[in-house]
Every structure is written in structure tokens, then in C-alpha cells.
């Protein structure tokens, strides 16, 4: 990702967490952070009996200074 100053923004993987959809921590995932961070949110926990995904997987990454 290019920044206005021409430098490239680089984010470093911090951690990944799996959350049940019925107890998804919305404020923790979407809330404000002290610095620039990214969140990648995807489906997880496929249940072949229902054809549904019961969970979400969130990848957290922080901006490298």
C-alpha cells in the first residue's frame, strides 16, 4: 500500500483468533487502536450438517514503523 509520502506501508502479522459468531467481540475487532492496524475477517468452523460457518477467524496485523 503506498502512502501519500511515497513510502510503502508494511503491516506485520500479530496474531489470529477464532471466534464463535454468536459471541463475536465486535468492539475488540472493530474498535479504535492506538496505532495503525489491519483486521482481516473471514469465515471459519464449517458445519457440513448445516452448510453454514459457525465461526469467524480474525487476523490482526500492526503497521511496521
Measured CA to CA, the distance from residue 19 to residue 57 in angstroms comes to 6
Tens digits of residue pLDDT in 4-40: 888 888 999 999 999 999 999 999 999 999 999 999 9
CA distances from 31 to 18, 26, 37, 53, 63 (A): 17, 7, 11, 24, 16
The reported pLDDT for the residue numbered 7 is: 85
Give the separation between CA 2 and CA 10, rounded to whole angstroms. Answer: 9
pTM over 0.85? The answer is no
pLDDT at 1 over 60: no
Amino acid at each position: 500500500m503506498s502512502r501519500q509520502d511515497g513510502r510503502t506501508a508494511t503491516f506485520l502479522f500479530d496474531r489470529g483468533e477464532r471466534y464463535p459468531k454468536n459471541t463475536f467481540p465486535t468492539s475488540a475487532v472493530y474498535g479504535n487502536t492506538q496505532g495503525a492496524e489491519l483486521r482481516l475477517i473471514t469465515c471459519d468452523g464449517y458445519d457440513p450438517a448445516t452448510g453454514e460457518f459457525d465461526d469467524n477467524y480474525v487476523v490482526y496485523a500492526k503497521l511496521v514503523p
